[in-house]
A and B are shown apart, each in its own frame.
Chain A
Amino acid sequence: MTTPTVGLVGAGGIAHVHLPGWLDLGFSVVVYSADGHAPALTGLYGGRAVGSMDELLDTADIVDVATPTDTHRQIVERAAEAGKHVVCEKPMALTVADSEAMIAACQRAGVRLFPAHVVRYFPAYAAMRSAVADGRVGTPAVQRFFRIGAAPKQPWFRDRARSGGIAMDQMIHDFDQARWSAGDVAAVYATQAGDQTTATTAVHAILRHHSGTITHVNGVWGNSAVSFHTGFSVAGPDGLLEHDSLRHPVLDYDGVSDAAEAGYLPPVEAASSPYTAELADFARAIRDGGSARVTAEDGLHAVRIAVAVNRSLDEHTEITLEDITENTLEDRR
Chain B
Amino acid sequence: MKVGIISFAHTHAIGYASILRDRPDVECVATDPEHGARPNGESGGRELAESIGVGYVDTVDELLAWHPDAVIVCSENARHADDVERAAAAGVHVLCEKPLATTGDDARRMVDACERAGVWLMTAFPVRFTAQYAQLRHRVQTGAMGTVLSISGANNGRLPAERAWFADPALAGGGAVADHTVHIADLVFGLFPDADAQEVFAVANHMLRPDREAETAGLVSIRYSNGVTAVIDCSWSVPEHYPTWGGLNLRVIAEGGIAELAPFAERVDGFSDRSPLWLSYGADLDAAMLDEFLRAVSEGRQPVPSGRDGLRALEVVLAAYESIAAGRAAGVRAL
Residues of A within 8 A of B (CB): 139-142, 144, 146, 148, 189, 191-194, 198-202, 204, 206, 208, 212-216, 218, 220, 222-223, 225-226, 233, 235-240, 316-318
Q: A144 to B233, Cβ gap below 8 A?
A: yes
Q: A198 to B229, Cβ gap below 8 A?
A: no
Given the contacts A144-B154, A214-B217, A225-B257, A204 and B207 also touching, CB distance less than 8 Å:
no
Q: Tell me if B204 counts as interface (CB < 8 A to partner A).
A: yes
Q: Could you jot down 30 A-B contacts, CB within 8 Å?
A: A139-B207, A141-B216, A142-B219, A142-B235, A142-B237, A144-B154, A146-B152, A146-B251, A191-B221, A193-B228, A193-B253, A198-B147, A202-B149, A202-B229, A204-B152, A204-B231, A206-B201, A206-B221, A214-B219, A215-B219, A216-B219, A216-B233, A220-B253, A223-B256, A235-B208, A235-B235, A237-B210, A240-B238, A316-B329, A318-B329
Q: Tell me if B23 counts as interface (CB < 8 A to partner A).
A: no
Bound CA span A141–B205, Å: 7
**Residue among B203, B237, B239, B251 with the highest chain A CB neighbour number at 10 A:** B237
Give B224-252 as 1s and 0s: 1 = Cβ < 8 Å from A's Cβ atoms: 00011111010101110010000000010
Q: A214 to B205, Cβ gap below 8 A?
A: yes
Nearest A residue (CB) for B205 = A212
Bound CA span A146–B235, Å: 17
Nearest B residue (CB) for A220 = B253
Q: Tell me if B258 counts as interface (CB < 8 A to partner A).
A: yes
Given the contacts A191-B229, A204-B229, A233-B154, A212 and B207 also touching, CB distance less than 8 Å:
yes
Interfacial chain A residues near B302, Cβ < 8 Å: none
Interfacial chain B residues near A144, Cβ < 8 Å: 154, 233
Given the contacts A141-B216, A141-B217, A206-B219, A214 and B203 also touching, CB distance less than 8 Å:
yes
Bound CA span A200–B229, Å: 13
**Closest chain A CB from B254 CB (angstroms):** 7
Partner of A317, one of B227, B230, B255, B328: B328
Q: B253 to A200, Cβ gap below 8 A?
A: yes
Q: A318 to B201, Cβ gap below 8 A?
A: yes
Nearest B residue (CB) for A208 = B203
Q: B209 to A237, Cβ gap below 8 A?
A: yes
Bound CA span A214–B204, Å: 7
**Closest chain B CB from A122 CB (angstroms):** 21
Interfacial chain B residues near A218, Cβ < 8 Å: 150, 152, 231, 251
Q: Tell me if B15 counts as interface (CB < 8 A to partner A).
A: no
Given the contacts A146-B152, A200-B149, A223-B255, A189 and B207 also touching, CB distance less than 8 Å:
no
Q: How many Cβ-Cβ contacts under 8 Å join chain A to chain B?
A: 127
Given the contacts A236-B207, A237-B209, A199 and B219 also touching, CB distance less than 8 Å:
no
Interfacial chain B residues near A204, Cβ < 8 Å: 150, 152, 221, 229-231
Interfacial chain A residues near B219, Cβ < 8 Å: 142, 206, 214-216
Beyond A214-B205, A226-B257, 16 additional pairs, beta carbon < 8 A: A141-B235, A148-B258, A189-B203, A189-B221, A191-B221, A194-B149, A198-B147, A198-B255, A199-B146, A206-B231, A214-B218, A226-B258, A237-B207, A316-B329, A317-B328, A318-B327
Residues of B within 8 A of A (CB): 146-147, 149-150, 152, 154, 156, 199, 201, 203-205, 207-210, 216-219, 221, 223, 227-231, 233, 235, 237-239, 242, 251, 253-258, 327-329
**Residue among A199, A220, A233, A235 with the highest chain B CB neighbour number at 10 A:** A235
Interfacial chain A residues near B251, Cβ < 8 Å: 146, 218
Chain B interface main SS type: strand
**Residue among A141, A226, A239 with the highest chain B CB neighbour number at 10 A:** A141
Q: A222 to B253, Cβ gap below 8 A?
A: yes
Nearest 4 CB-CB pairings of A with B = A235-B237, A141-B207, A202-B150, A193-B149
Interfacial chain B residues near A191, Cβ < 8 Å: 221, 223, 229, 231
Interfacial chain A residues near B207, Cβ < 8 Å: 139-142, 212-213, 236-237
Bound CA span A192–B149, Å: 9
Partner of B258, one of A222, A233, A239: A222
Partner of B150, one of A193, A208, A237, A317: A193
Nearest A residue (CB) for B327 = A318
Partner of B201, one of A189, A202, A225: A189
Given the contacts A141-B235, A202-B253, A204-B150, A193 and B205 also touching, CB distance less than 8 Å:
no
**Closest chain A CB from B152 CB (angstroms):** 5
Bound CA span A222–B203, Å: 27
Partner of A222, one of B208, B233, B257: B257
Interfacial chain B residues near A214, Cβ < 8 Å: 203-205, 217-219
Bound CA span A189–B208, Å: 22
Interfacial chain B residues near A141, Cβ < 8 Å: 205, 207-208, 216-217, 235, 237
Bound CA span A202–B229, Å: 9
Interfacial chain A residues near B229, Cβ < 8 Å: 191-193, 202, 204
**Closest chain A CB from B255 CB (angstroms):** 5
Bound CA span A144–B233, Å: 8
Bound CA span A199–B254, Å: 9
